[in-house]
Each structure stands twice: as structure tokens, then as C-alpha cells.
């Protein structure tokens, strides 16, 4: 019995060990299978996610000179013919402090090597440059009127801008009623020709109606007065019609072959046989040596002007021939971009012709402020922009400017003395674009706006 039990036990033991080995082997195989399936699962996800990500961010190509040209495939720019380069997303760029790499996409950056400057705080002598037009001085255009009524027998002033000397005979008139109300004055000077104490009032009246000393002496010696009178000019100037406008404006003047300017043509309205009454205006005399120069000055420069400042006026065709005068009036601001300045000038040498365009320089003295080179400021209509360096980029910043002097522009606000700006800002601007300060530029806006930032290499 004992022997049989031993045999059973011996036969059972090897069978138990075999089962235990099989269990261990199966568990190991299960773990390995799970590991393999997990790895295959991650690999499948990577394969699926890769093409999907590339499809969401398809490669685009752009022209480095014309960033508005963007294509989905390589090719040539239809504007300039250059090769299109790959458009790089902003977040994918990496750059270091040496700034040797282009870190922005070409639709937001321009490869450039630009010299920079900083604004300078200093005082500069300011001379305001302005342009304007020459007019007749309206204070020196006087009207010649008839001092007594009658009929003009003969006129000696027949055409526009005829030169008339002071004391020159201008017309002859028949005035039969000249002495009707003052006949006692005639009898008085005829009776007492040498008694000026008695005839003083009569003589004054004869002078007021325009009789010369010779005409009065003739009247003293004549029993029957002559009713034909010669009328003489009381002033010197150029005869013009009564509707003559001494103020020229652009496009109003016509230039003659001799270089003189006139408004219209024909006579002055003083014709033979014309009947005139006492006090009727006949024509006008314009003094061409008395000129009014009206200048247009920028509104931002108006605060520097004051009455009495010296002004040099010259014709652009003859810059060496100039005249000087003083500011007489600065018109108040009217909300426009220009305001008018008036200068009265006496031109004895007839250097300037009324109606001509002229240039002027107004010396206003020194001006202390923050100055930058004129080339550093980009003028965009009524706006002014400079390119400020920020790390490795140039960013357009809008500034308020003042006057310009000696090739520099005064900065009123927008940047300070520590700002580093491009000396020649136009080199950073695409002629096909437009700067929009402070706003990002997207691909959708690239047709209408320029780059927001410019990277320095």
C-alpha cells in the first residue's frame, strides 16, 4: 500500500510543475502582446495625425518683393518675375541675438541693412519757406472821378495799363454849367485879382474842382470865361477800368509777350462824347511799384510768425533778384492746412510783376526742440511716420512734427531722445504697400497695407 502511494505521488509531482511553467509562459506572452498592440496603436495615431496636420498647414509661396503675391505652389512672381519662396509662419521662426537670420515671413518683413540714428535735442535757426502770389497794393489803387459835370470832348487815356504821369492831361471837357452856383467867385477874382485876402475862399474852390494855377490866372484876365477845360491827372500810375480787380488768384492772370500781366483788354471806359456828372468815377490808377505779396504758410508753422518779421521775396526764375519786406498781417487760423500772410513791398525797380508766383523765406529765429533727419520721416498725406527699431525689427510709429530747418524735422510727440530710428525710412517701404502704424498686417490685408515690422539682418 505504501509503495503504491509513493508511485502515485511521484507520478503527480512532475505534472504539477509543468502546469506552473505553462502559466508563467502564457502570462509573459500576454504582457508582450499588450505592449506590441499599444506600440502599434501609437504608431497608427502618428501616421494618421501627420498627414492631417500638413493638410491644415499647407505650404504657401510668396514673392519677396511683392508680398501681396501668394501662391499654393512654387513658381514665378507675375509682377517682377522673381522666384516665389516658401512662406514661413511667425511662430515657427527661431532667431538669436546676432540677427543673422530672417525670422519673419516676407509678407511682414523686409531684408535690409539700415543705418539708425537717435533724435537730437538742440536749437536750430528756422527759416520758413513759403510760396504766394504778387498783387497790386489795393491801398495804392485810386479812382479818378469827375470834379464837375460836362461832356468829354477828347480823351487822352484810351487803353488798359496806359502809363499816366502826375500832372498829365487826361481829357478835355465842355462844362457850361461849372460857374452857375459860384459865379460870384468869378466876379470876385476878376475885380480883385491881386487881393488874395479877399479872394482866398474863391481860389480854394477853384483848386478843389481841379483847376490849375495857370487856368485860374487865365480866368482872372478873361472877361468872358472859357467853358472848355483840360483836366490833369492828380497821381501817377497805370490806367485801368473801374471793374479792375487788384487781387490776382491762380489762373486769373494772362501774361503778355513782354512779360507784363493784365486783366482783360480794351479801353478804360473814358471815350469821346461821354457825358459825366459831378463826382462820377471815370477810371482807376494802379501803382505797379506798390505791391502786396500774399503767402501761404503751413498751419503748424503759423505760431512762429508775428508782425514785423523780415521776409525775402523772389521770383523762382530769377532767384538772385529779390526784395525784402516786413510781415504786415497774419490772418487767423481758419481750420485749413494753410494760413495767409500779407507783406507790402515797394518795388521801385519793377523786379516783380503783379500776378506772378513767388517764393519767400521768413526768418523766425532759433528753435529749441527734438530734431531728426528729414529722410527719417515718411509723409503719408496728413500723417507722419518714422521706423523705430525694436530689438531686431523696425516698427512704424506715427509722430507729430513741427517745422523743418537745415535738413531736419522737429518732433513734437511720438518718440523721445532714446528712440533708435532708421535714418532713411523710405528704403524700408514698399512702393506698392502702405504703412498702418500700430496694426498687424494679415494675408487678407496685404493687398492694401504694407508690412507691420521690418527685420534687420
Question: From CA 259, how far away is CA 285, in angstroms rounded?
Answer: 20
Q: What is the DSSP letter of 76?
A: B
Give tens-digit pLDDT for 4-17: 444 444 444 454 55
Question: From CA 338, how far away is CA 301, in angstroms rounded?
Answer: 9
Q: What angle do CA 280, 281, 282 make, to 5 degrees?
A: 110
Question: From CA 105, how far away is CA 112, in angstroms rounded?
Answer: 14
Place of cell 523780415: 310
- What band does 395 get if pLDDT is binned at 50, 70 and 90? confident
- The partner residues of 171 in beta bridges, in order of sequence, read 155, 231
Is residue 352 within 8 Å of 315, Cβ to Cβ? Answer: yes
Contacts of residue 154, defined as CB under 8 A and 6 or more positions apart, other chains included, come to 171, 172, 272
HEC-encoded secondary structure of 90-129: HHHCCCCCCCCCCCCCCCCCCCECCCEECCEEEEEEEEEE
Question: From CA 42, how far away is CA 206, in angstroms rounded?
Answer: 125
| Of the candidates 120, 121, 115, the residue with the CA atom closest to the CA atom of residue 424 | 115
User: Which of 216-223's residues contact partners 24+ apart within 8 Å by CB, and which partners?
Assistant: 216/189, 219/186, 219/189, 219/190, 220/189, 220/190, 220/193, 221/193, 222/190, 223/190
Select, from the ranges 39-48, 140-149, 299-308, the one with the highest average predicted confidence (pLDDT): 140-149
Q: Residue 318: its pLDDT value, please?
A: 84
Q: Residue 449: its pLDDT value, please?
A: 42
Give tens-digit pLDDT for 374-384: 988 988 777 88
- What band does 444 get if pLDDT is binned at 50, 70 and 90? very low
Is residue 296 within 8 Å of 132, Cβ to Cβ? Answer: yes
Q: Which of 75-89, 140-154, 399-413, 421-435 is predicted with the least confidence, judged by mean pLDDT?
A: 421-435
Provide mean pLDDT across the span 168-185.
83
| Of the candidates 298, 291, 302, 307, the residue with the CA atom closest to the CA atom of residue 248 | 291
Question: From CA 193, how far away is CA 221, in angstroms rounded?
Answer: 8
Please report how many Cα atoms fall inside a 13 Å half-sphere around the Cα of residue 330, on the Cβ side.
18
- What band does 104 get if pLDDT is binned at 50, 70 and 90? very low
Count of CB atoms within 10 A of residue 278's CB? 14
- What band does 20 get if pLDDT is binned at 50, 70 and 90? low
Q: Say whether 419 sits in a helix, a strand or coil.
A: coil
Percent of the chain with pLDDT over 70: 73
Query: Domains of the chain, with CATH numbers?
Result: 116-124+367-455 (2.40.420.20), 127-136+289-364 (2.40.30.170), 141-286 (no CATH)
Question: From CA 12, how far away is CA 337, in angstroms rounded?
Answer: 115
Q: Residue 389: its pLDDT value, please?
A: 84
| Of the candidates 129, 127, 139, 104, the residue with the CA atom closest to the CA atom of residue 392 | 104
Helix (H) or strand (E) holding 200: helix 196-208
Is residue 103 within 8 Å of 393, Cβ to Cβ? Answer: no
State how far the alpha carbon of 86 is from the alpha carbons of 50, 67, 68, 72, 101, in Å: 20, 12, 14, 10, 15
Count of CB atoms within 10 A of residue 372's CB? 23
3-state helix, strand, coil in the chain (%, to 5): 25, 35, 40
Q: What is the DSSP letter of 68?
A: T
Comparison of pLDDT for 56 and 356, the residue scoring more: 356
Contacts of residue 228, defined as CB under 8 A and 6 or more positions apart, other chains included, come to 153, 172, 173, 174
State how far the alpha carbon of 236 is from the alpha carbons of 139, 165, 266, in Å: 14, 5, 20
Q: Which of 270-274, 410-414, 434-438, 447-451 is predicted with the least confidence, judged by mean pLDDT?
A: 447-451
* In the predicted structure, residue 371 carries a pLDDT above the cut 70: yes
Give tens-digit pLDDT for 106-153: 444 444 567 888 999 988 888 888 899 998 888 888 898 888 888 999
Comparison of pLDDT for 78 and 440, the residue scoring more: 78
Question: From CA 107, how far away is CA 431, in angstroms rounded?
Answer: 14
Amino acid at each position: 500500500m505504501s509503495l503504491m502511494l509513493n508511485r502515485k505521488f511521484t507520478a503527480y509531482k512532475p505534472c504539477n510543475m509543468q502546469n506552473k511553467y505553462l502559466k508563467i509562459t502564457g502570462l509573459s506572452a500576454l504582457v508582450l502582446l499588450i505592449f506590441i498592440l499599444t506600440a502599434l496603436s501609437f504608431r497608427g495615431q502618428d501616421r494618421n495625425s501627420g498627414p492631417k496636420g500638413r493638410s491644415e498647414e499647407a505650404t504657401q509661396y510668396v514673392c519677396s518683393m511683392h508680398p501681396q503675391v501668394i501662391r499654393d505652389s512654387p513658381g514665378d512672381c507675375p509682377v517682377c518675375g522673381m522666384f516665389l519662396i516658401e512662406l514661413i509662419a511667425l511662430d515657427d521662426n527661431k532667431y538669436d541675438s546676432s540677427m543673422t537670420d530672417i525670422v519673419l515671413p516676407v509678407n511682414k518683413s523686409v531684408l535690409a541693412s539700415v543705418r539708425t540714428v537717435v533724435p537730437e535735442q538742440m536749437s536750430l535757426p528756422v527759416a520758413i519757406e513759403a510760396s504766394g502770389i504778387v498783387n497790386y497794393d489795393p491801398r495804392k489803387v485810386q479812382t479818378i472821378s469827375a470834379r464837375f459835370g460836362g461832356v468829354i470832348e477828347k480823351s487822352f487815356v484810351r487803353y488798359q495799363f496806359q502809363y499816366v504821369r502826375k500832372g498829365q492831361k487826361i481829357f478835355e471837357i465842355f462844362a457850361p454849367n461849372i460857374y452857375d452856383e459860384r459865379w460870384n467867385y468869378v466876379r470876385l477874382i476878376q475885380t480883385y485879382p491881386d487881393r488874395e485876402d479877399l479872394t482866398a475862399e474863391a481860389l480854394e474852390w477853384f483848386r478843389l474842382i481841379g483847376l490849375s494855377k495857370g487856368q485860374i490866372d487865365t480866368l482872372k484876365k478873361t472877361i468872358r470865361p472859357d467853358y472848355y477845360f483840360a483836366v490833369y491827372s492828380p497821381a501817377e500810375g497805370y490806367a485801368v477800368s473801374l471793374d479792375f480787380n487788384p487781387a490776382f488768384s491762380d489762373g486769373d492772370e494772362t501774361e503778355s509777350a513782354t512779360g507784363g500781366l493784365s486783366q482783360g483788354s480794351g479801353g478804360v471806359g473814358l471815350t469821346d462824347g461821354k457825358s459825366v456828372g459831378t463826382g462820377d468815377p471815370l477810371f482807376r490808377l494802379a501803382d505797379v511799384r506798390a505791391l502786396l505779396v500774399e503767402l501761404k504758410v503751413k498751419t503748424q508753422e503759423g505760431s512762429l510768425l508775428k508782425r514785423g518779421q523780415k521776409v525775402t521775396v523772389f521770383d523762382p526764375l530769377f532767384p538772385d533778384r529779390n526784395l525784402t519786406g516786413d510781415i504786415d498781417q497774419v490772418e487767423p487760423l481758419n481750420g485749413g492746412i494753410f494760413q495767409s500772410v500779407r507783406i507790402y513791398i515797394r518795388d521801385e525797380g519793377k523786379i516783380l510783376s503783379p500776378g506772378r508766383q513767388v517764393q519767400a523765406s521768413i526768418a523766425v529765429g532759433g528753435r529749441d526742440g527734438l530734431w531728426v533727419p528729414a529722410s527719417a520721416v515718411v509723409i503719408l498725406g496728413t500723417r507722419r511716420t518714422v521706423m523705430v527699431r525694436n530689438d531686431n525689427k523696425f516698427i512704424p510709429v506715427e509722430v507729430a512734427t513741427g517745422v523743418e530747418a537745415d535738413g531736419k524735422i522737429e518732433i513734437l510727440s511720438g518718440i523721445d531722445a532714446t528712440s533708435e530710428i532708421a535714418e532713411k525710412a523710405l528704403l524700408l517701404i514698399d512702393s506698392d504697400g502702405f504703412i498702418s502704424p500700430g496694426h498687424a498686417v494679415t494675408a487678407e490685408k496685404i493687398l492694401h497695407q504694407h508690412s507691420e515690422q521690418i527685420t534687420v539682418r
